[in-house]
Structure 1
Amino acid sequence: MNSNERNFLAYLDEIDIITILLPLSYHQGLSSTFSITDESQKSRAIQIIQKQQIENNNKYICKLEEEISFGHPYWILDEHGGKTDLQIGAVIRTDIFDERFYYDGNDLGVSCRDNQTQFKIWAPTATQVKLKLRQPKNSFSEIIKMRREEKGVWSSVVNADLELYQYTFLVLVNQEWQESVDPYAVAVTANGEHGVIVKLEKTYREKPVLPPCENPVDAIIYETHIRDFTIHPNSGAEHKGLFLGAGEINTKGKDGQLTGLSYVKDLGITHIEFLPFNDFAGVDELDPHKEYNWGYNPIHFNVPEGSYATNPSDPYARIMELKQLIDSIHSQGIRVIMDVVYNHLYIRETSSFEKIVPGYYFRHNELGFPANGTGVGNDIASERKMVKKFILDSIRFWMEEYHIDGFRFDLMGILDSETMMDVRKTCDSIQQGTLIIGEGWNLNTPLPIEKKAIIRNQSKLPDIGQFNDKFRDCIKGNTFYLYDKGYVLGNEHYHDAAIETIAGSIGFVKKESGLFTNPSQSVNYVECHDNHTMWDKLVSCLPDLDHQFHIKYHRLATGLVLVSQGIPFLHSGQEFFRTKRGDGNSYKSPDHINQLDWDRKHQYIENVHYIKGMIQIRKQLTCFRLKSAEEIRAHIQILPLQNPLIGFCLQNQGNEFREVLLLINPLRSKQPIQIPEGKWRLLANDKKAGIYSNEFISSKELVLEPVCLTILAKK
């Protein structure tokens, strides 16, 4: 039966419930009996338990006496002699389906060894599955029928070494054939049109031992984009915009000073976070300079993006070159965080997930339509067993195969907290200290709020960091209102919120008002790839202000990121006042908007030295990276300064300084204050920062410079 010839429709919506829609134009939409038959032609009556009219159909809810056998076709017959195929409906989103077809094997996808190649795909609702093989050097195709096994897995074994063969799956569901790339593919052709069989053991290398990072608050994250990082004409990189370019060391700009990876090491960064580098849509891999994209359009989750490779048509090139990049970063003692986008697919209808098991991998609302909490047309249903399994398998793959050290979860609030904690356990089982951070925004997806991986549920996510939008908005001003001015711009209404967020957002002043349980859950930032850069916001908010004050405000905001309790997060180029020329959403803007401008680093080298000094201070003084809420309350006191000034006295442990003062003046005028007695070493003011200062202050009265962060320390 052709799906286009259906006179009426029938869906299996629960294990024992069938929904039948009879158009009013078909025998007036009326029938008093229905029966079900299979390939054996044996017919059984089904019981009508409810009937109602919906738009142009009569809807019949019917009950099965015997469950159907998945993987086989069935037909529904009516009393008029009409016949339609039984389609798989909402049953796939029931708990009983999830339990019955959960497959816990670790062999989905393809494995090629010892002159034998095995293929496995999970397609429980399919009635037929075929493997389509293409030889590497011509377009000749071979079709092989696959065998259905337990738990809805289909398999095929070919007694040959099929390295570099291309492959896809042909899947028959609801009488429609779909051709799909393997969701577990680890290599693909250019633009991801076909999976490719490779032997990853050929690319194996040992993971080096990296410097210890005992707690997430010891990390200093630097977010960048593979292409942005080196595409600038004066980046000094040979392989501009590519994996290999991002991994080049000792590159230099036109001033002869460090750029790229060696510059990041010199700055003092511990973790580089790259925007997505798994295979994504939006850039033609065969002509990558025509288009630009951040990479939040995931296609193949376990394949490196081809537009960053020297030869996207060579399946091994992107694998080897990404591994070389990661190895190069590790050689500098820096860890790699991968930005992962498990919350959605680029286009639901054309995704491998939807073609192979239609309707299973995505959330649907109460009306049966795809949910759209992500804003891109689909939400991944992470709470379903095989969706969670895919995410965990993927995380394990990136850690074990590519030696990834941490993950940043895009729109983590779409995912459920149980899955995120299973991610945490999976990472810990492979490498203790793996950094996991995510965007815990509460998005409108049909998942009970108590199950969402959001800031509100942080107590269920104790070892996962979350981007602290409260920190971001109170320090610089609301990110979605360009002209809103935050605490650093002198807005005294943010004074109390600033105290709270600088102290780790753990309920420092009022315990019950804490956003997080521990500071390691708070990712502190004022700028990231999203929205306007801090510099562009400042210039827009304060267009008539002297340029030096723009510098001061920016320096104060970035300085606060580095001395606040929690995990500091910097956007690449933030230290030299990165601008995107006012573009607040540059996800597909051209290189001249998105590139990291290495000439600007030379132009604002004084600020680079300042931020480098602030990083030194954070690394040397344990009081700026306390590990628990209890430590924060025990070691930090608020000084009695007049609003909007803020002063903290911090007890330091572990080096020559016993006591540290953090003093903040967001006003454009000098402010005299009283400080505790003692001989204080000046570590930072509005002009310089560093742990090795030789300037001392002994007076009880100190004048804070305008728009300034001051750090004093004494033995």
Structure 2
Amino acid sequence: MDLEGYAMYEQFGAIVDHKKKNVTFKLFLPDASKDPRQYEGGGLPNITRISVLGDFQTPKSKRWDENNAIELTPTDYTDPRDNVVKGVVYTAQVEDLPEGFYEYKYRVEFKNAEPRMVSDPCGRWDGASNQNSGFVIGGESAEVLPISSRSPYKDWRVYELMIDDFTAGYRDKNEAPIQAIVRKLDYLQDLGINAIEFMPWTPWSYSGEAADTFSWGYNPVQHFGVAHRYVNNPKEETSKLVYLKQLINECHARGIHVIMDAVFNHADAAPPNLGFPYYWLYEEPADSPYVGQFAQHDYFRDLDYGNRCTLDYVRDACLYWIDNFQIDGIRFDNTLGFYQADNRGHGLPKLLTELRAGLSERDQKNFALILEHSWDYDAIDVTNKVGATSCWYDPFRARSHEFLGCQSVDTPVIAASIMRMLDTSLGFDLGRTPTPYLENHDHGRIICAGGGRDNWRRTQPYMIALFTCAGAPMIYNGQEFGSDHDVPDEGADRIIPRPLDWSFVEHDTGASLHKIYRTLMRIREEHPALRSPNFAPSIWDEGQTQFNRQGLGFDQERALVVYRRWNDDDDVSEQFFVALNFSDAAQEVDFEVPHSGPWRDLLSDKTVTPVEGRIKTEIGASWGAIFYRKK
């Protein structure tokens, strides 16, 4: 075995030899009596016997034979990387299976509890019903090719994509959702994005039929598999994982980076015996070393990063997706749940340290490690401390929605806090960058905050700001044509299907928005200075409500903002002045520039010549200008 970059948990699950047409079931349970480092909190599972049963027992009829379940044999598991016995692995092999998709579960018997039917914690496929696990014999195969040139994250233009909602309006009945995405990749490439952040594709909890259960994917039960709903093609049952590999290959062929949204703070586990298998594999589930509150408890069953086995499991899941699917980044959901400020030896800091080591062993450059931490500026400090690439920069969204939604006669259109919002790189260490956005899956639509599609123009200066500030700007699927399915903060209507209405692209409002987003994406792509961290005026005094002497900053009375952006690259030396008018009337700006010009507005393609070293021009209502000049 080649031990470079070795991932222990990747060796478990239903391991298929397609040539020999057999499957080997391997289920691992850590044991602190054999290796005390495995866990400090937790106990033994008190298992007396494990067997496996499923429709593979009778391939023709696909009948589960409870009376002839196949017993797994327990042996000590020695990790070949350090030759340490880390626990027990239960193993059984089944030979000579016809090609097809098979579902299975483990029957686990205990000393002092009734037997349980439990799915596979390292299963690669989600079953069609009853939270079964699955495997495939035969069928099509594919190898994922890495992207030809992975760019630094600051150069990415990200599209957050909800697989179900994105494809619901156009996919065929005999087409898996992940297959259908491929048919829209040319559209996304034309839009100008070069990265897709897929909301979780890993299996989530359900009790009946997988096809009938909608989820955003933030209630995971397994971390090595793909949700059945996303890869189910009724006419072709043996391809499943191949669809995801083909999708990633198609993305990479177009220069589109792939980000996996991964939920490693918690797992769902609900009676009777449904959900996270490493919870139900213990006679007393509370003894599971994988589950237990580590930091901030928020959802479902927290994963316990105080125990080494939990960190190994999560790290190995990340390496599995990196090795086998050539993903280009991971977005870590809700990292508040596995971060303790004064604990670098456990949780998020330790996980990222080991992932960086694994990425280095694989010579993986520019791999993005992105945090969803807090909804405020505190996330920046955590990003620096743990060595992440980026964090979601939510103040950009929050302030924008606040300004759009709270206007009245007595309330300013914008407030001085907008300057801190726009200075997105402030506080980030060199080489780290924010992920700013105006909307995401978790919050309401920017078009709704602005008063609906009839008032879409009010959102324009915020759109221009998003693509002219530092970071990797992100838009949410449908944002580019004004999708107005809003999301409540809580309640039964929060996580429900919101299919994109693709006809909006052709409507006047949608077409106008789409054109502006395409233009801004192109400007962003063509001008490196807009991707630099340089911003002026930085550290704005929020007591100051008028422009500074250079005419830069913030004018509260007229709802204007003017800021400077530039880079220090000798090969491509660029300067920008961005003027934004948030009011509903045209306004004049007057600001100092360092060169006589002319300066070209990239939005109107018109030039402006400074007078006595100052640009004086009018900015239309709810609009802006991006004045550009090479040094």
Tell me the TM-score normalized by structure 2.
0.77
* Corresponding residue of 2:253: 331
Equivalent position of 1:71 in the other structure: none
1:616 aligns with 2:503: no
Q: CA deviation at 1:574?
A: 1.2
Q: CA RMSD in A?
A: 3.6
Deviations 1:647-672 (A, max 9, x none): 22333446776322112222233332
Q: Distance in 2 between matches of 1:169 and 1:284?
A: 18
Deviation, 1:197, is 4.0
Structure 2 equivalent of residue 600 of structure 1:
504
Contact 1:519-1:626 at 8 Å conserved across structures = no
- Cα distance between partner residues in 2 of 1:404 and 1:586: 34
Residue 517, structure 1, aligned to residue 444, structure 2: no
Q: Does 1:553 align with 2:458?
A: yes
Q: What displacement does 1:132 show?
A: 1.7
SS at match of 2:576: strand
2:444 and 2:458 map into 1 onto residues whose CA distance is: 15
Shift of 1:313: 10
CA contact (8 A) 1:282 1:295 kept: no
Aligned counterpart for 1:539 among listed residues 435, 448, 451: 451
Q: CA deviation at 1:206?
A: 4.2
Could you say what secondary structure the match of 1:616 adopts? helix
- CA deviation map 1:398-435 (0-9, x unaligned): 12222222212221221232223333443454432222
Report how far residue 339 of structure 1 moved: 1.3
- Cα drift, residue 302 of structure 1: 1.5
SS at match of 1:539: coil
Aligned to 1:394: 317
Give the partner amino acid of 1:422. E
Q: Name the aligned partner's letter for residue 52 of structure 2.
A: K
Counterpart residue number, 2:79: none
Residue pair 2:139, 2:239 contacting (<8 A) in 1 also: no
Pair 1:117–1:530, CA change in 2 (3 A)? closer
8 Å Cα contact 1:292-1:589 kept in structure 2: no
Task: Encode CA deviations 1:429-458: one digit per residue, 9 max, x unaligned.
Answer: 443222221211289xxxxxxxxx954423
Of structures 1 and 2, the one scoring higher in RCO (CA 8 A, sep 6+) is 2
Structure 2 matches for 1:145-224, cutoff 5 A?
145-149=72-76, 150-158=85-93, 160-161=95-96, 166-173=103-110, 175-176=112-113, 177-191=115-129, 193-198=131-136, 203-213=141-151, 215-224=152-161
Partner residue in 2 for 1:38: none
Question: Which sits farther off after the overlay, 403-412 or 114-123?
Answer: 114-123
Structure 1 segment 353-368 matched on structure 2, within 5 A? 353-357=278-282, 358-359=285-286, 360-361=288-289, 364=292
Distance (whole Å) between structure 1 residues aligned to residue 554 and residue 201 of structure 2: 48
CA–CA distance in 1 between the matches of 2:246 and 2:51?
A: 33
Q: Deviations over 1:667-704 (max 9, x none)?
A: 2333322232523443345xx5xxxx354444532122
Secondary structure of the residue aligned to 1:528 is: coil
Asked if the contact 2:160/2:475 (under 8 Å) is kept, the reply is yes
CA deviations on 1:176-229 (whole Å, 9 max, x unpaired) are 23331120111243136333344699623140543441x211011101111211
* Paired residue secondary structure (2:267): coil
The one of 147, 162, 166 equivalent to 1:229 is: 166
Aligned to 1:412: 335
Q: 1:383 Cα deviation (Å)? A: 3.6
Distance 2:367 2:492 in 1: 28
Distance 1:601 1:123, change over 3 A: same
1:714 and 2:619 matched: no
Change (3 A) 1:413 1:175: same
> Take 1:654 and 1:238, find their aligned partners in 2: how far apart are those partners?
54
Q: CA deviation at 1:465?
A: 1.3
The one of 392, 409, 418 aligned to 1:467:
392
Q: Which residue of 1 aligns with 2:80?
A: none
Which of 4, 14, 27 aligns to 1:120? It is 27
**In structure 1, how many angstroms separate the alpha carbons of the residues matched to 2:202 and 2:566?**
44
Give structure 1 stretches of 5+ with no counterpart. Answer: 1-102, 249-259, 444-452, 507-513, 541-546
When Rg is computed on C-alpha atoms for both structures, the one with the higher figure is 1
Which AA in structure 2 matches 1:122?
L
Identify the match of residue 131 of structure 1 among 27, 37, 51: 51
CA gap of 1:402–1:161, structure 2 versus 1, over 3 A, is farther
Contact 1:283 1:293 in 2 (8 A): no
Relative distance call for 1:272 and 1:622 in structure 2 (3 A) is same
Contact 1:306 1:312 in 2 (8 A): no
1-side partners of 2:23 and 2:392: how far apart? 47
Choose from 404, 417, 420 the match for 1:500: 420
The alpha-carbon distance between structure 1 residues 301 and 105, as it changes in their structure 2 partners (threshold 3 A), is: closer
| Contact 1:210 1:334 (C-alpha < 8 Å) held by counterparts | no
CA contact (8 A) 1:203 1:320 kept: yes
**1:280 counterpart = 2:175:** no
Change (3 A) 1:442 1:554: closer
When structure 1 is superposed on structure 2, of 204-213 and 403-412 the one drifting more is: 204-213
CA distance in 2, matches of 1:581, 1:457: 30
Q: Give the aligned partner of residue 342 of structure 2.
A: none
Contact conserved, 2:396 with 2:437, CA < 8 A, in 1? yes
Q: Provide, for residues 308-338 of structure 1, a one-character-per-residue CA deviation record: whole Å limited to 9, x for no partner.
A: 2343797633212222222222222212211
Partner of 2:222: 300
**Aligned twin of 2:543:** none
**Cα contact 2:529–2:573 (8 A) shared by 1:** no
CA distance in 2, matches of 1:651, 1:442: 28
The correspondence for 1:381, drawn from 290, 304, 312, is 304
Percent identity between matched residues is 20
How far does the alpha carbon of each residue in 1:108-135 deviate from its partner, in whole angstroms, 9 at most, with x for none? 3233445673523215313423122331
Structure 2 CA distance, aligned partners of 1:660 and 1:139? 67
Aligned residue number for residue 15 of structure 1: none
Amino acid at match of 2:163: I
What pairs up with 1:620-659 in 2 under 5 angstroms? 620-626=526-532, 639-641=551-553, 643-644=555-556, 645-652=560-567, 653=569, 658-659=574-575
Taking structure 1 as the reference length, the TM-score comes to 0.69
With over 3 angstroms needed to count, the CA separation of the structure-2 counterparts of 1:485 and 1:276, relative to structure 1, is farther
On the 8 A contact 1:185/1:303 being kept in 2, the answer is yes
Deviations 1:233-256 (A, max 9, x none): xx48786771111112xxxxxxxx
d(CA) in 2 for partners of 1:461, 1:325: 31
Aligned-partner residue type, residue 233 of structure 2:
N
Question: Residue type of the partner of 1:605?
Answer: A
